Structure 1
Amino acid sequence: MLDRVANATDDDLRLSDNPFHSDAIRAVAAAALIAAQCPGGPPVISGYGPTKPMPQFPAYLRNLAVIALDRVTTAPSWLAEYWDETTDGFEWRRTISELRRVLDPPQQESLFDL
């Protein structure tokens, strides 16, 4: 599902038969589960979350989750449009940004190797 969102066309992101059961929402949930296993990742606390511990996810899923988050937060994503029209839109975007930061942390640059 992450790969479907990451590789979705603009039309795929704009349209959904049932927006509240879409791949876009599932991609955000999957990204949150993956981020929870990263250093500094926020725990997933939800009545809708897994009831059993999740297996360790492969590292390559981090990059896929970042791409999927980027797709669902930019135009023409119906999910971004939906949240932007709510009073909680800013908080949603902040949460997505935090997930993205955990999944793809900024690299520290050094001027030279020691």
Structure 2
Amino acid sequence: MNAEASRVLPIVMLIGSNIFMTFAWYGHLKHKGAALSAVIVVSWLIALPEYMLAVPANRIGSGVYSAAQLKGMQEIITLSVFAVFSILYLGQKVTPNHLIGFALIAGGAFFLFRS
């Protein structure tokens, strides 16, 4: 795999994995009448593709990024995916306080990539 693909592919795969995981963890909130046992089973089924993307993303990414950088990247991706999901799927608002909190976490991730 070339150097550019080794840098970009983990990011794309982590975005995909986070979309699945966000639906697995939070998608059921739109269906509060569903039985908890059913929600758990469906969540596990949704989480399987998440793992099938996240594990290879981290394996491929470890050739280019440190574990701390991969984790920081994953957190930023998670927050970004969650913000979009929260607005579009759950119909919730992202408030200025949410944005400030996300920015502080992003600021921490920034330092993981400094030399």
**What's the TM-score, normalizing by structure 1?**
0.35
Normalized per residue, which structure has more helix?
Answer: 2
